Structure 1
Amino acid sequence: MRGLSYRVRAAVAATVTLAAGAAGGLVFAVLGLPAAWISGSLVVTIALAVANVRIDVPEWLRVPAFVVLGASMGTALTPETFARAATWPVSMACLGASVLGTMAGGTLFLTRVAGWSRETAFWASAPGAFGTVVAMAADTRADLRKVAFAQALRLFLLVAALPNVLGALGLTAGGLAPPPHVSSPWAVAMLIAVCTGTGLLATRLKVPGGLILGALAGSAALHASGASDAVLPPEMLIPAFVILGASVGVRFLGTTLGTIRAYFLASLGAFLVAVAISTVFAVIAAWLTGDDLGKLVTAFAPGALEAMTALGFALGYDPAFMSAHHLFRFAGLSVALPVAARLMFAAAEEVDAVGEEEHTK
């Protein structure tokens, strides 16, 4: 009976979460806001989390949602997309410099202005890779509550605010284009089956954002080879966007108003510093490549790989460009962060030890 009771509560929590997320997405869509179904779902879900309402998005729902998103992104890839890839090394070099700049700026702000410890500020300033960063920081002396809050707030602000800021500045690509034709149920089923396989394979191989990127690769291969011309209808995409937004909002569970009051201003300041620096490098990349500024700002935005790739897709930007740049940032962070942290804090501890030794003489 206890197991049944738990399953009932879990089902109720999932139902409340998704219903509220869908309602929030619908309101944002009616208001004509960009990326409405993602950002509306996110905002409402976070409100429930802060209100201490039990919310949840089961893993078995995330899998098909992420596969659908990746499969739909792959349908947008064309030979012209790959021809434009010749300019990507330039923008990726700018992205690498942007990552270094945002981390340095965020760390400096949080230590000098907010008074956070060096380790806490370092991990809180890492641009994206939420789960990886928190897992790495857990083995250090960093304050995990501050790290998690700063990372979660940045992701919320990017998903909820970035589309509206870009829209106000006239930098969005106009959102998703309507499907060029109506695909048969068989063609859609074949596309989803292949993308599920490639998404699960990428996940098994531990590719970051494996479900979305693996499904995108499978869909791109089918469409590039001419084996499929299927497109997914909005009836499949909208629930996937709602689930993605709610999945991000669930990360705010356990966040209280007291926590928000204690960490908000410092985290917001670090976010503004990071966005300012990443935007400067996006402008430089746009000048060097002649590419769309709104697309580069979104590609350089320091958020989670899956969420930012899907957000760029929802805004109408090239999904191959988005996924390549966010994967590049994620992979670079995963490799460089532990090395940089070890070198930085080992050196700092040595300097502190020497200083303490001289003080005692």
Structure 2
Amino acid sequence: MRGLPFRMRSAASAAVTLGAGALGGLIFALLGLPAAWISGSLVACIGLALAGMRIDVPEWLRFLAFVVLGTSMGTMLTPETFARAATWPVSMACLGASVLGTMAGGTLFLTRVAGWSRESAFWASAPGAFGTVVAMAADTNADLRQVAFAQTLRLFLLVAALPNVLAALGMTAGGVPPPPHVSTLGEIVVLFVVCTAAALLAARLKLPGGLILGALAGSAVLHATRLSTAVLPAELLIPAFVVLGGSVGVRFIGTSLSTIRAYVLASLGAFLVAVAISTLFALLAAWLTGDDLGKLVTAFAPGALEAMTALGFAMGYDPAFMSAHHLFRFAGLSVALPVAARLMFAAAEQAGRDHTQ
């Protein structure tokens, strides 16, 4: 039976981990970096792990963070979102093909060139939905260190490079974002209770990323049917981001610097493949629709929903167009990834068992 000294050490490790994660997230947020609270927490906790410090994130905090994140993601899937998506069928079709192409190209590069496992390469190649992808991959046999590195590096490079490239095309900033919706405490409590139940059900069914996927599904149903319009405040989201970053950072305990360098090189190669493929589909969409190429490149960019939508808005592009395309990609990934993973890897496991018999 675990005694008081063990529990005290675990609590101290968790406090150090989350304190460092919160500080890293705050620094990244002040610097205006993308997905600041997740990536800042991740980088800080990786630093602690590489330094050999004892770090830990309690399981109950992971549970709460995943439910909060899934609930928040589901609030984006409203009837208005689907209505906007229906107004751009050609570019949406090209975007869907782009997502398939970038995932196939990235997976092929990471397995054939970098030597990653198929599961790690699959989750690392998902273009965006950073939090969802990492949470889903955590419940699989994928190497979460590789997945997190590839997702984080791609996001940083996109946000750093894309504005500079498109600025050469004469793009200008403009517009002011609308004020956020404010929900009552009662609305938030009802939403969270329903999504917690959905998360527990999905986890019981052993779905990949069941906690976050179940909460997302519960929230999406409530918002798509207009049974709820509640959104979660930043006071809940920021701690959840910090916990997610810390949970991934813990996986880097015992990782060497040479391994980190290998991850960086592989992730950079996968990023270049993804950008090349998404740009080709943006060119196709521009040719088919006659729309602005810069707008389509930004809409097709394989980065996080919030960062890419805000980036397109800052460049003066139609915010409805930007949000609809990135939400369409996000919704498609959230629904299709666990199904595709279950089909692909369950089939592979069965083939492996048949081969050994």
Could you say which residue in structure 2 is the equivalent of 1:228?
228
Contact conserved, 1:203 with 1:214, CA < 8 A, in 2?
Answer: yes
2:108 to 104, 116, 122: 104
1:77 aligns with 2:77: yes
- CA RMSD in angstroms comes to 4.1
1:50 aligns with 2:50: yes
Structure 1 position 225, deviation (Å): 3.1
Q: Cα distance 1:339–1:25, how it changes in 2: closer, same or farther (>3 A)?
A: same
1:209 aligns with 2:209: yes
Could you say which residue in structure 2 is the equivalent of 1:37?
37
Structure 1 position 46, deviation (Å): 1.0
Structure 1 position 39, deviation (Å): 1.3
Q: Cα distance 1:218–1:326, how it changes in 2: closer, same or farther (>3 A)?
A: closer
Amino acid aligned to 1:34: P
Structure 1 position 192, deviation (Å): 0.8
| Alpha-carbon distance in 1 for matches of 2:203, 2:174 | 30
Q: Cα distance 1:57–1:161, how it changes in 2: closer, same or farther (>3 A)?
A: farther
Could you say which residue in structure 2 is the equivalent of 1:179?
180
Identity %: 42
- Aligned pairs, number: 319
Contact conserved, 2:95 with 2:329, CA < 8 A, in 1?
Answer: no
Amino acid aligned to 1:105: F
Give 1 or 2 for the bigger CA radius of gyration. 1
Structure 1 position 197, deviation (Å): 1.0
Q: Cα distance 1:272–1:59, how it changes in 2: closer, same or farther (>3 A)?
A: same
Q: Cα distance 1:274–1:228, how it changes in 2: closer, same or farther (>3 A)?
A: same
* Aligned pairs for 1:52-201 within 5 A: 52-86=52-86, 87=89, 90-110=94-114, 125-128=121-124, 150-158=146-154, 160-166=156-162, 178-181=179-182, 183-201=183-201
Amino acid aligned to 2:149: L
| Alpha-carbon distance in 1 for matches of 2:77, 2:239 | 22
Structure 1 position 194, deviation (Å): 1.0
Contact conserved, 1:102 with 1:277, CA < 8 A, in 2?
Answer: no
| Alpha-carbon distance in 1 for matches of 2:327, 2:82 | 11
Q: Cα distance 1:54–1:174, how it changes in 2: closer, same or farther (>3 A)?
A: farther
Contact conserved, 1:187 with 1:228, CA < 8 A, in 2?
Answer: yes
Render the CA deviation track for 1:250-293: whole Å, top value 9, x for unaligned.
221210224335x3565345434543455346535754687854
Structure 1 position 14, deviation (Å): 1.0
Render the CA deviation track for 1:87-139: whole Å, top value 9, x for unaligned.
455533432333332233334433xxxxx6xxx565664443778699668xx
Structure 1 position 60, deviation (Å): 0.7
Amino acid aligned to 2:215: A
| Alpha-carbon distance in 1 for matches of 2:174, 2:336 | 23
Contact conserved, 2:158 with 2:301, CA < 8 A, in 1?
Answer: no
Amino acid aligned to 2:203: T
1:325 aligns with 2:324: no
Structure 2 unaligned segments of length 5 or more: list them. 125-132, 312-321
| Alpha-carbon distance in 2 for matches of 1:205, 1:185 | 30
Secondary structure of the corresponding residue to residue 55 of structure 1: coil
Secondary structure of the corresponding residue to residue 181 of structure 2: coil
| Alpha-carbon distance in 2 for matches of 1:243, 1:326 | 20
Structure 1 position 184, deviation (Å): 2.0
Amino acid aligned to 2:107: M
Q: Cα distance 1:98–1:175, how it changes in 2: closer, same or farther (>3 A)?
A: farther
Q: Cα distance 1:203–1:246, how it changes in 2: closer, same or farther (>3 A)?
A: same
